[in-house]
Structure 1
Amino acid sequence: MEALNLIESFIQTAETGSFSAAARRLGLTPAGVSKNVARLETHLGVRLFHRSTRKLTMTPGGEQLWADAGAPFASLQDAFARAAQHDGKPSGVLKVGMALSFGREYLVPLLGEFLERYPDIVPDWHFDNRAVDLIAGGFDAAIGAGIELTQGVVAREIARPCTIVAASPAYMKGRPLPAHPSELAELDGIARRSSSTGRLRAWTMRNQVGEEALAECRVRMIFDDPEAIAHAAMQGLGIAFLPTPHAAPWIESGQLMRLLPGWHAPISPLTLYYPNRKLLPAKTRVFIDFIVEAFRERRLAARFDAR
């Protein structure tokens, strides 16, 4: 087992590009991972990494070992996982990343049914509006949009949301309903600042016949969270450009109304991400199947598609 521990430290370091990231995945200290890799190098008589204060890069010998050992080690891990299952049932801690409000609104309500089916799985769900690093973070899966596809990650589209314009009935009372995106310039709005770039989001709306138009409003306030924007809009503070997963519950309840129903702004598809492994652990496989089934049976993809 010691040899397996050494090779695992090497493989995780190769996949993540640093001792620190590998340590987070393995539950060790960076010094412990570095020591394991050094011991493997001594045992093989080959330097596996070039080390510097700024970065860690693999040597040709390290790249060869990764190419030769990566897939067999993954298969061995799968074999261990299957052997550890309780009576052949999926089990273990399932680490999943998701956006805060999306997870709370749509995924937490599914948790009871999931646990009833798979009582030996322990969900370890991480709620964060920032995109996770699936490999470096040691996640079994993630649900979101626009996550960069790195080596070893598979993306499976599960819905095509879009951005629409909404406002509270109270705010629109006495105001004419806009018929074209250019007319939004006469209305107060809650602008959104991109958390990644720090810039205000600009929206180009599109209708069903393919016409496009820039949509701008009088900026009354600026938020960086779509859920907060929805709540401000419900208070009658202005119009809001909202992704359909954030807008749908409030439009259905009547607390918001959709403006320009024939117009939308395309955004990245809602996607299920998971490691690209020949044999996924059973806990990950059943979670993927469960989410796909839930989206189909609850017609969430159709609910989010407001085109």
Structure 2
Amino acid sequence: METLANLEAFVRSAECGSFSEAARRLSLTPAAVSRNVAMLERNLGVRLFHRSTRKLTLTEAGEGFRQAIAGNLEGLQAAIASVSADGGEPAGTLKVSLAPTFGVSHVLPLLPGFLARYPLIRPEWHFENRQVDLIAEGYDAAIGGGFALSSGIVARTLAPAHIIAVASPSYMRGRVPPSDPEGLQAFDGIVMRSLQTGRIRHWAMRDVGGSEVVARQRESIIVNDANAMREAALLGLGITLVAVPDVRPDLDRGDLVRLLPCWYADAGAISLYFASRTHLPAKTRAFVDWVSEAFKVGRLAERFAGSLG
């Protein structure tokens, strides 16, 4: 009977087209992955990969074998994780993707308490401005917004992603605040150019009465990162539109002030994403429950709601 290690090495190598990348995801050496695949080929008596110096490609037999075991392998992994969880504490590497500013400000502070409760879990947290492929890239969970819910992925909403107008007290000193979103054009605007579309993002803001107005800012400063917009606002360079969680600490300290308190833009939701396995690994379940409870106890959904003024 084949070992799970051999089967995992084969499936990940097929997904990545590389022993080196498969090794990274499995926390092994490339030599170990190559050896496991070679052992599997020897035991089966067939060649599973065409090997070249540039890329691995599946043979016809390899593709058929991959299709036959891929789903079953996930079931085996889940079953092993479930049995392991029943026998002891959640353990292992917990690979999570987080939006940088949000993750550092609101999720990283939860880590000391989490590790005190689950000392056998080893965090591997990636702070990145991109939507990862949880399954293909080997992530246990991700926190952010706007992820495509592909097959096998579920989302648990943590808080709204509301966009508000902010500026520093020094910038607003001597200036009359705008009374509606159209009034933003009279001020220096700190705006963001999308890396995906190459366009400047203009938000449609709404008030509690349901009115909606496009907030067209003067393009005084253009950046491509939300945290850079926040920093520019802190430097007193103008007004910017950013997500409430990214500036909540600054607002609480008085380093930034909110303008147009009755207006906000809705950018969707901040969610916790994870694979919808029947037997979720204990380490992932512990993380999902810990973060969800922390947001509930801290009433962060309410604190991040721009609609509440």
TM-score by length of 2: 0.85
Conserved in 1, the CA contact under 8 Å of 2:78 and 2:277? Answer: no
Equivalent residue for 1:121? 121
For the residue of structure 2 that corresponds to 1:197, the secondary structure is coil
Equivalent residue for 1:281? 281
Aligned CA distance change for structure 1 residues 134 and 104 (closer, same or farther; 3 Å): same
Question: What is the deviation of 1:9?
Answer: 2.6
For the residue of structure 2 that corresponds to 1:161, the secondary structure is strand
Equivalent residue for 2:258? 258
Pair 1:140 & 2:156 matched:
no
Conserved in 2, the CA contact under 8 Å of 1:6 and 1:37? Answer: yes
Give unmatched runs, 5+ long, in structure 2: none
Equivalent residue for 1:69? 69
Q: How many residues align?
A: 307
Partner Cα separation in structure 2 for residue 229 and residue 107 of structure 1: 21
Conserved in 2, the CA contact under 8 Å of 1:82 and 1:88? Answer: no
Conserved in 2, the CA contact under 8 Å of 1:264 and 1:306? Answer: yes
Aligned CA distance change for structure 1 residues 60 and 274 (closer, same or farther; 3 Å): farther
Aligned CA distance change for structure 1 residues 22 and 205 (closer, same or farther; 3 Å): same
Deviates more, 1:49-58 or 1:250-259: 49-58
Where does 1:149-164 land on structure 2 (aligned, <5 Å)? 149-164=149-164
Kindly provide the CA deviation profile for residues 114-156 of structure 1, in whole angstroms up to 9, marking residues without a partner as x: 1121121111111122222212321111111122333332222
For the residue of structure 1 that corresponds to 2:73, the secondary structure is helix
Equivalent residue for 2:179? 179
Deviates more, 1:153-162 or 1:54-63: 54-63
Where does 1:219-230 land on structure 2 (aligned, <5 Å)? 219-230=219-230
Deviates more, 1:289-298 or 1:16-25: 16-25
Q: State the Cα RMSD in Å.
A: 3.0
Aligned CA distance change for structure 1 residues 213 and 62 (closer, same or farther; 3 Å): farther
TM-score by length of 1: 0.85
Q: Counterpart amino acid of 2:227?
A: E
Where does 1:103-118 land on structure 2 (aligned, <5 Å)? 103-118=103-118
Partner Cα separation in structure 1 for residue 252 and residue 44 of structure 2: 63
For the residue of structure 2 that corresponds to 1:267, the secondary structure is strand
Kindly provide the CA deviation profile for residues 248-307 of structure 1, in whole angstroms up to 9, marking residues without a partner as x: 211122121111112111113111111232111101111101111111110111111112
Aligned CA distance change for structure 1 residues 300 and 122 (closer, same or farther; 3 Å): same
Equivalent residue for 1:208? 208
Equivalent residue for 1:293? 293
Conserved in 1, the CA contact under 8 Å of 2:78 and 2:278? Answer: no
Partner Cα separation in structure 1 for residue 47 and residue 290 of structure 2: 44
Equivalent residue for 1:268? 268
Where does 1:1-150 land on structure 2 (aligned, <5 Å)? 3-13=3-13, 21-28=21-28, 40=40, 44=44, 65-66=65-66, 68-82=68-82, 84=84, 88-150=88-150
For the residue of structure 1 that corresponds to 2:306, the secondary structure is coil
Partner Cα separation in structure 2 for residue 8 and residue 108 of structure 1: 31
Partner Cα separation in structure 2 for residue 51 and residue 208 of structure 1: 61
Partner Cα separation in structure 2 for residue 306 and residue 267 of structure 1: 11
Question: What is the deviation of 1:242?
Answer: 0.7
Partner Cα separation in structure 2 for residue 89 and residue 78 of structure 1: 16
Aligned CA distance change for structure 1 residues 147 and 15 (closer, same or farther; 3 Å): farther
Partner Cα separation in structure 2 for residue 121 and residue 32 of structure 1: 24
Question: What is the deviation of 1:235?
Answer: 2.1
Question: What is the deviation of 1:51?
Answer: 8.9
For the residue of structure 1 that corresponds to 2:4, the secondary structure is helix
Conserved in 2, the CA contact under 8 Å of 1:86 and 1:120? Answer: no
What percentage of aligned pairs have identical amino acids? 50
Deviates more, 1:170-179 or 1:277-286: 170-179
